[in-house]
A and B are shown apart, each in its own frame.
Chain A
Amino acid sequence: MVTTETARVTTADYAGLVPAWCPGCGNFGILNGVKRALVDLSLEPSRVLLVSGIGQAGKLPHYTSGNVFNSLHGRPMPVAIAAKLANPELTVIAISGDGDAYGEGGNHFIHAMRRNHQITYLVHDNQVYALTKGQASPTSDSGYVTKTTPQGAPFPVNPLVLAIAAGCGLVARSFAGDTNHLAEMIKRGIQHRGFALIDILQPCVTFNRVNTWDWYRQRVYKLDGEAGYDPSDKTVAFEKAQEWGERIPVGVIYEKERPTFEDSMPALAKGPPVKLELKASEAEPLLDEFV
């Protein structure tokens, strides 16, 4: 059994392997944000499950601590969903890049939000496929030229608009260059009842020469300081989610709780299913129905 009354959780508890990312990569800021959020919430690593996909983002769990399932490209979501259903006592965080979440995993992404699973989804959004060396991603700006898109990338997906439309309960954006803000957003996500998407703007210092640290720093502004912004107003949220270009908002774009998928599962009534005793005799009364 997990004992919760142990010593205070510190950053040292979340130490991991040395990252193999490029120097200056936005992923370092995200890693720090994740660690800070988990420490602030006093979550012991053994109570946390990090499920990641493939891409540079997918390596993050190895560089910190916790239970880790580094899954296939585009598939962290179904693994995370099932793990949460099997043991709702776990804090389950899914981690993807923009290709993993919005390309290969697009179908899982939409339906996970629709069903409203109790998962926090961190998407490292650098608008480029970095692990495969610089091809266009689903969020690359229109016209973005790469080796696979010499005529320029097509119209990008707007993950925030998509999330609001799909019924995501907490739709937020943050920036890898602001660890404090990011940690706050991750904490909001974990504490939210239901599915939370944190799209994290992140420069790729090697392959993306357009959306650089400076490019983002000049544009990003915090919604929290925006007088009168009401994230529970869906219409306003749709508008805010489409703001991109000269000014890019970060913060909670939309938030509205609704019943979760777990709430609808009668199987969870007796506690975490993983803790139930397995007995063949349980099938005995069922046999009577077939006589």
Chain B
Amino acid sequence: MIKLTHVSKEYPKRGYALHDVSFHLKKAEFAFLTGHSGSGKSTTMSLIHMADYPTSGEVRVSGFSSARMTGRDLWKVRRRVGMVFQDFRLLPGRSALENVALVLEVTGTPRKAIQPKANRLLDQVGLSGKAGALVEELSGGERQRVAIARALANDPYILLADEPTGNLDDRATRGILDLFWDINATGMAVLMATHDLELIRRYPHARLFELDQGKLVYDSAAADTEAS
């Protein structure tokens, strides 16, 4: 699903944001990516989403390699990877339904099928009654659910979430995490970046990657293997 092989990312002024990171997230796995601010979580997420490319090493996502990716082919990988952000990145002035429908229009879904599918997705994230509400009228938790519904619209193989609960209260956070687990139960791989260790402790069965100063310092799967 997602495979990073000796990935480094160096910025001209900042230096290394990631240094020789390798891991493999398999199908239907749920994993947290944690670390302090500046540890390289967002860089890792953006490399997986191919919003940026590694300075060295290779990122493979659902069969696509960063080494061979061009701007023209970017849409192919984007349709296999759903992405959720801390700041939601929804289109203001449009309803929840329109925000989800946008993805379906973009991917060429027949017009008749767009509204039913968008409604179904909103229903899946628990927003069936809010389809017509403008983004500005929704709470933070509800906005994040719309963003998740949008991320799921392409029926992706992987769901990436970059600090998705960073702007949410505890109750909304739990709701979003439960939703991620439900999504993961359908066979979709989920990788969530968070610095909230308290939150991670609540889900001990999830795989855990920890970054520190751009280096992968902990992988729970590797630790389990070593322990056994």
Q: Do A and B bind each other?
A: no
Binding site for A on B (CB under 8 A): none
Residues of A within 8 A of B (CB): none
